[in-house]
Amino acid sequence: MIISEVIPCCRLLPPFHHIKYINTLVQLRSFNSPPTTAQVSVPAKIASPVSRPFTSLLAPTIDTQYPSMTATQTTHESLSQRRRMHHEADVVIIGAGVFGCAVAVTLARQGRSVILLERSMKEPDRIVGELLQPGGVSALHKLGLSECLEGIDAVVVNGYNVIYYGKEVHIPYPYDTRVEKSRAMRESRPVGWCFHHGRFINKLREACKSEPNITIFETTVKGTVSTDNNEQVLGVKTETTDPMDGSKKPDYFFGGLTIAADGYASTLRKQYISKTPVAKSKFYALELIDCPIPTPNHGHIILSDNAPVLVYQIGTHETRALIDVPENLETAKAALGGVKAHIRNVVVPTLPKQIKPTFIRALEEGKLRSMPNSWLPPTQQQTPGIVVLGDAMNMRHPLTGGGMSIALTDVVILSELLHPTRIADLSSVPAMSLAMRTFHWRRKQLASIVNILAQALYALFAANNAELKALQRGCFEYFLFGGACIDEPAGMLACILPRPFLLFYHFFSVALLAMWLIMCDCVGDLLGVWRAPLGVYRSGAVLWKAVGVIFPYIFSELTW
């Protein structure tokens, strides 16, 4: 339930004039500050005690001067009031998306007092974040959030169907190789789920609202609040719309730890991460109604002379089509009719015939929406008091659909590293610094695979020169071998096979097969002997291109 009320943030606060960073706190929290307004989502019930609230960064004399505001108040009632009235908690989380909601619920269930900030609690309407891989489903179960997949008309996904110039190869999700083989064979294959992104987010937000240790504020974050020398982040400053007159008023929220999980368009990323996202293409989306897809319950990757097209079912009647359009594409320029004309004239002829009628109807009747396909390598951060996580910290091309699975797996890792038995006080700089260093490297076991695989596969599937076209062909022919040639790559796509060496092995196996196919093409007839040097040259060029495709992404994962 969302209620609107005036929240006097500064009431009952002590005069912290003797603290080193008194100026910041007094300006924000003095008795002379005007009351601020926020929309607060208040949980319906109150339960057991939790760890101490955020006071360690404030004056030690609070305990003696104002005992009613000290860490001895450990009831849910006092902590809930502290969050609502004084905007203070153990953790302030920015963004109620997949990562933000999951980490909020996880920390709250561990006894932390949590403030969750979100610009709008309306159901989001996005065109990506619609596939949860088996590894993400497993992470959701570990976090106790499996019920979020219920009641949203989600569609089970059993694997992929790759269509290469009309030829198809079926790539099912493999048995989980992390468990004993005999046991895995007795169990069913792992599955993923496709759904409307907004419906899934709403379920996650409902889980947050049901937690007594979480208070949700509908407000827009404008920046952080730091100590005078900017050594440590104390919280965030926001703007909240007053529901009475529509005016925007300043708010401030304080926590021992601030987690920025505000997505691909993060407002805080530039301040704490030196790297910026790079987008070389966009996905344009259509929603097809009652589309007869070639292989039900599978994601379809359609390859041709153009960039890839993805087709997958997101509901009982709805199917998503994502058309990749590289930047500065000649056939998509405005003078030739723009993206819509490119899709109609160039993409539609390459689609399977059973998809074309509903695709064309959606193109003519629907509105094209787009999303940049961004690449942002992960970064280890050093600023005390804040961490930037989720898509705000790390993104890869959505071709493989691994983003949400990585986010949820990251939350599982954080739930272990930030558990109160390990870190009692989240404002402890040494403890948090060690935990985040550990997190940065532990997550790479899976995240690095998905990051590299997504970027490398996109380079092959959007091939725009002879060498990449050869690698694309080699990849498809490699899948046709079956066995480990599809099981292990599919396991990495499914986020259930965290073995980085296998990615390197299979990628260069594809490259070697592509080189072999080139040599066979060159020496396959009577003139083959004379064309052999050309075959050797072209094969070498393919190997060099393969190195150039994958190694930059490997190096980016090995850096800090």
- Are both 118 and 9 inside the same structural domain? yes
Q: What six digits make up the tokens of 75?
A: 């009831």
Number of domains the chain contains? 4
- Are both 53 and 171 inside the same structural domain? no
- 426 in a structural domain: no
**pLDDT for residue 47:** 35
- Are both 216 and 95 inside the same structural domain? yes
Cα torsion angle, 551, 554, 555, 556, sign: positive
- Are both 31 and 90 inside the same structural domain? yes
Q: For residue 184, give the nearest of 173, 176, 172 by alpha carbon.
A: 176
- Are both 246 and 302 inside the same structural domain? no
Q: For residue 537, give the nearest of 519, 514, 511 by alpha carbon.
A: 519
- 378 in a structural domain: no
- Are both 106 and 226 inside the same structural domain? yes
Domain carrying residue 468: 463-558
- Are both 111 and 18 inside the same structural domain? yes
- Are both 227 and 180 inside the same structural domain? no
Q: What six digits make up the tokens of 124?
A: 């989001």
Q: Which of 243, 272, 301 is the last residue of a domain?
A: 272
Tokens 């920390």 appear where? Answer: 107
- Are both 330 and 346 inside the same structural domain? yes
Residue 99: CATH number of its domain: 3.50.50.60
* Cα 482 from chain centre: 30
Angle at 52 between CA 140 and CA 422, to 5 degrees: 55
CB neighbour class for 54 (10 Å; exposed up to 12, middle 13-18, buried from 19): buried
3-state secondary structure of 90: strand
Do strands 214-218 and 155-157 pair parallel, antiparallel, or not at all (unpaired)? unpaired
pTM, whole model, 2 decimals? Answer: 0.85
Q: What are phi and psi of 58, to 5 degrees?
A: -95, -175
**pLDDT for residue 86:** 87
**pLDDT for residue 75:** 62
Q: Which of 240, 272, 304 is the last residue of a domain?
A: 272
Query: Which residues, in sequence order, are CB contacts of 487 under 8 Å at separation 6+?
Result: 174
Residue 537 has what DSSP assignment? H
Which residues in the chain show pLDDT less than 50?
1-73, 179-186
Task: Write the CA distances from 51 to 416, 422, 479, integer angstroms.
Answer: 16, 13, 52
E strands present in 55-141: 88-94, 114-118, 131-132
Query: Which residues, in sequence order, are CB contacts of 415 under 8 Å at separation 6+?
Result: 106, 107, 110, 143
3-state secondary structure of 512: helix
Tokens 């080193």 appear where? Answer: 20
- 449 in a structural domain: no
Q: Which amino acid is at 192?
A: G
Q: How many CB atoms lie within 10 A of CB 451?
A: 27
- 439 in a structural domain: no
Cα Rg, the chain, nearest whole Å = 26
CA pair distance 291, 296, nearest whole angstrom: 10
- 425 in a structural domain: no
Q: For residue 7, give the nearest of 209, 234, 242 by alpha carbon.
A: 242
**pLDDT for residue 188:** 73
Residue 402 has what DSSP assignment? -
Q: What six digits make up the tokens of 397?
A: 């091309």
Tokens 């974040």 appear where? Answer: 129
Q: Which of 321, 349, 373 is the last residue of a domain?
A: 373
Packed helices 500-522 and 528-558: angle between N→C axes, nearest 10 degrees:
160
CA pair distance 531, 290, nearest whole angstrom: 51
Q: For residue 435, give the nearest of 417, 450, 419 by alpha carbon.
A: 417
Note the pLDDT tens digit of each residue in 237-278: 999 988 888 889 999 999 999 999 999 999 999 999 989 999
CA pair distance 518, 524, nearest whole angstrom: 10
Q: For residue 43, give the nearest of 94, 103, 104, 95 by alpha carbon.
A: 104
**pLDDT for residue 528:** 66
- Are both 106 and 248 inside the same structural domain? yes
- Are both 192 and 43 inside the same structural domain? no
- 241 in a structural domain: yes
- Are both 136 and 218 inside the same structural domain? no
- 385 in a structural domain: no
Contact 472, 463 (CB under 8 A): yes
* Cα 235 from chain centre: 23
Q: For residue 391, give the nearest of 414, 410, 417, 369 by alpha carbon.
A: 410
- 417 in a structural domain: no
Contact 555, 480 (CB under 8 A): no
